[in-house]
């Protein structure tokens, strides 16, 4: 097993400009990240252009074999990767956090490497035989976020590589070390130049999205940045997969058992301390069981430990950065000032190091309150009372985003009827936010477009070619 120290040393630059990365839980130094510019990006694209044709020529079987070896390499460095991720991002080692995320990287890579994608026969009537094949795009630009930096990067690079592309990755400036480390481990099994991480700012990101050599951009992040990418990529007609902002609604029907669903509701909302695109961010509960659901949620939340990620007892951590801490604090303060009832939390300790915001539940809040209408992306959940299902569906559909949603009920058939009325890319029944490597995932409305995962995800990383005759 590779040590954390050795892994960190392997990605620490010996020359060039660097930036110190601090632990959001303690303020202590984690390591030094390189600071790349557009010249570094050009070098990465040149190397990718040189490496990609031979990689594509290997074919699916040989590429998959290399990716399976890379998955094994991730497992061999799993604990070192998890410790680095915990220190840089802030998430605890245990629970659905750092060790979970690293494990997801290797399992997702294996699933992607072994998913078959055979030519699809669309017509074969004795006179015409037509098939759809998927050819490599060339070079894919992958721009990832800071909340799940390793896992979402893997969601981008695994299908891109499997389909015969080279990849240039631009990680978030908040979590570059995690992505550098993951790529360093994966690159032990890949040809040189095929996968490169460029750690730069907005200038690098802007150049990546407009560069004529890049055939596709995969982006996970805010809707505002996604719109900017659409504009900057238009001149070269790039293919895009955009997983953008969400403000997921959950609807609890009146027949639900508050005690039975409380833990699922909690983790749907507070996984990764609420810093998840498809987390439950506004909860609509029928008036008949409203108080019971509030009480059950508060019981689970109060018993869930938050603290420094390297402490094995903790399962919730800090906000990753001060900007996000300030957003959560502003929205909770606005809710309090409006007369909403704070069931739990809402009172960060100003003397505590790190960006810790306590687990917060807010009841008796209006649907147009900023904490409901804006994406908080943190550990604060507004709980809205409703009287009829029609009212709940109208409120759930009232925003311009639609990444995910959920319906909670003792009657799955009734829940599915309600789910069909919700405008979201995925609607879960009696759970929220779970993803699977074979189940397509993507947003509706301004939460983006394009599908990831499974066969559909592979297709999105290829150029469809019809062979007719």
CATH architecture of 248-429: 3-Layer(aba) Sandwich (3.40)
Domain definitions of the chain by residue range: 4-244+447-468, 248-429
pTM of the model: 0.97
Residue 394 structure tokens: 């109208």
Nearest to 331 by CA among 375, 363, 292, 299: 375
Has 189 been annotated as catalytic?
no
Sequence-separated (6 or more) residues with CB below 8 Å from residue 74:
81, 102, 105, 106, 109, 182, 185, 186
Task: Identify whether the C-beta of residue 438 lies closer than 8 Å to the C-beta of residue 454.
Answer: yes
**Rg of the chain over CA atoms, in angstroms?**
23
State the pLDDT at residue 25.
98
Q: Which two tokens stand for residue 123?
A: 């017509």
pLDDT of residue 14: 86
Letter string b/e over residues 99-134, b meaning 16 or more CB atoms within 10 A of that residue's CB? bbbbbbbbebbbbbbebebeeeeeeeeeeeeebeeb
Residue whose entry in the numeric block shows the structure tokens 């790529």: 183
Cα angle: 282, vertex 241, 82; to 5 degrees: 70
Q: Which is catalytic among the residues 243, 423, 446, 452?
A: 243
pLDDT in tens, the chain (469 residues): 789 999 999 999 988 999 999 999 999 999 999 999 999 999 999 999 999 999 999 999 999 999 999 999 999 999 999 999 999 999 999 999 999 999 999 999 999 999 999 999 999 999 999 999 999 999 999 999 999 999 999 999 999 999 999 999 999 999 999 999 999 999 999 999 999 999 999 999 999 999 999 999 999 999 999 999 999 999 999 999 999 999 999 999 999 999 999 999 999 999 999 999 999 999 999 999 999 999 999 999 999 999 999 999 999 999 999 999 999 999 999 999 999 999 999 999 988 899 999 999 999 999 999 999 999 999 999 999 999 999 999 999 999 999 999 999 999 999 999 999 999 999 999 999 999 999 999 999 999 999 999 999 999 999 999 999 8
Given the residues 105, 199, 277, 294, select the one marked as catalytic: 277
CATH T-level topology, domain 4-244+447-468: Aldehyde Dehydrogenase; Chain A, domain 1 (3.40.605)
In this structure, is the dihedral angle defined by the CA atoms of residues 436, 442, 443 and 446, taken in order, positive or negative?
positive
Is 243 labeled as catalytic in the residue annotation? Answer: yes
d(CA 288, CA 213): 58
């Amino acid at each position: 097993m590779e040590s954390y120290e050795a892994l960190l040393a392997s990605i620490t630059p010996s020359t060039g400009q660097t930036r110190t990365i601090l632990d959001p839980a303690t303020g202590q130094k984690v390591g030094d990240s390189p600071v790349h510019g557009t010249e570094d990006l050009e070098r990465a694209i040149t190397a990718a252009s040189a490496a990609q044709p031979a990689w594509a020529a290997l074919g699916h079987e040989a590429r998959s074999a290399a990716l399976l070896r890379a998955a094994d390499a991730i497992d061999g460095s799993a604990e070192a990767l998890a410790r680095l991720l915990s220190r840089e991002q802030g998430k605890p080692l245990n629970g659905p956090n750092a060790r979970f995320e690293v494990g997801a990287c290797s399992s997702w890579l294996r699933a992607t490497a072994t998913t078959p994608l055979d030519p699809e026969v669309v017509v074969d009537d004795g006179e015409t035989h037509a098939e759809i094949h998927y050819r490599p795009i060339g070079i894919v630009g992958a721009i990832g976020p800071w909340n799940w930096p390793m896992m979402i990067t893997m969601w981008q690079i695994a299908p891109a590589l499997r389909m015969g592309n080279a990849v240039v990755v631009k990680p978030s400036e908040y979590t570059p070390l995690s992505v550098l480390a993951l790529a360093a481990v994966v690159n032990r099994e890949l040809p040189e130049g095929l996968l490169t991480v460029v750690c730069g700012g907005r200038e690098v990101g802007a150049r990546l999205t407009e560069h004529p050599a890049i055939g596709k951009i995969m982006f996970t992040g805010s809707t505002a940045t996604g719109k900017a990418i659409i504009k900057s990529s238009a001149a070269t007609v790039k293919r895009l997969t955009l997983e953008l902002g969400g403000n997921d609604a959950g609807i609890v029907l009146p027949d639900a058992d508050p005690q039975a669903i409380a833990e699922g509701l909690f983790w749907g909302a507070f996984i990764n301390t609420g810093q998840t695109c498809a987390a439950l961010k506004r909860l609509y509960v029928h008036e008949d069981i409203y108080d019971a659901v509030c009480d059950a949620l508060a019981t689970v939340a109060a018993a869930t430990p938050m603290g420094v990620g390297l402490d094995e007892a903790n399962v919730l951590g800090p906000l990753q950065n001060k900007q996000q801490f300030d957003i959560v604090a502003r929205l909770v303060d606005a809710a309090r000032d409006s007369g909403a009832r704070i069931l739990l939390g809402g009172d960060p300790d100003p003397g505590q190091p790190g960006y810790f915001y306590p687990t917060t539940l807010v009841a008796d809040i209006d649907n147009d309150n900023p904490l409901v209408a804006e994406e908080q992306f943190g550990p604060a959940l507004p709980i809205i009372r409703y009287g009829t299902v029609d009212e709940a569906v109208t409120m759930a559909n009232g925003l311009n985003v639609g990444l995910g949603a959920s319906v909670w009920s003792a009657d799955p058939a009734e829940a599915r009827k309600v789910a069909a009325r919700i405008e979201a890319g995925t609607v879960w029944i009696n759970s929220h936010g779970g993803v699977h490597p074979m189940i397509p995932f993507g947003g509706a409305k301004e939460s983006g477009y394009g599908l990831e995962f499974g066969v559909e995800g592979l297709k999105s990383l290829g150029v469809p070619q019809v062979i007719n005759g």
